[in-house]
């Protein structure tokens, strides 16, 4: 089973800003070949839950901060695959 949430007391307090979060989503969409508004809306609908959960992972946040979006996309894809297996 995929761990769904990190307890508040386990969070490190190094959350991404709204700007960092938006930039990360845009970069991940670019890597996925998503360019137009309808495709972006579809990507967000499909990926936002997994993306939001990964924001609780300090390693994922560090990948975003470091600009390592290839690895961040791989983590997102793997997370979604694990969720589908668990379902």
Q: What is the pTM of this model?
A: 0.78
Residue 5 counted as domain residue: no
Within 10 angstroms of residue 14's Cβ, the number of other Cβ atoms is: 9
Chain centroid offset of residue 15 CA: 13
Of all residues in the chain, the percent with pLDDT exceeding 70 is 85
User: Is residue 58 within 8 Å of residue 14, measured between CB atoms?
Assistant: yes
Is residue 44 one of the residues assigned to a domain?
A: yes
- Residue 8 domain flag: no
For 15-42, write each residue's pLDDT tens digit: 888 888 999 999 999 999 998 999 999 9
Instruction: Please state the domain count of the chain.
Output: 1
Write out the residue range of the structural domain in which residue 47 sits.
16-86
Residue 47 lies in a domain: yes
């Amino acid at each position: 089973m995929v761990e769904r949430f990190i307890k508040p007391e386990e969070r490190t307090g190094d959350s991404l800003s709204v700007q960092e979060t938006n930039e990360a989503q845009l970069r991940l969409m670019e890597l996925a070949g998503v360019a137009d508004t309808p495709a972006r809306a579809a990507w967000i609908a499909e990926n936002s839950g997994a993306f939001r959960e990964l924001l609780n992972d300090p390693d994922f946040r560090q990948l975003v901060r470091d600009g390592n979006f290839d690895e961040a996309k791989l983590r997102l894809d793997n997370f979604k695959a694990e969720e589908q297996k668990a379902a």
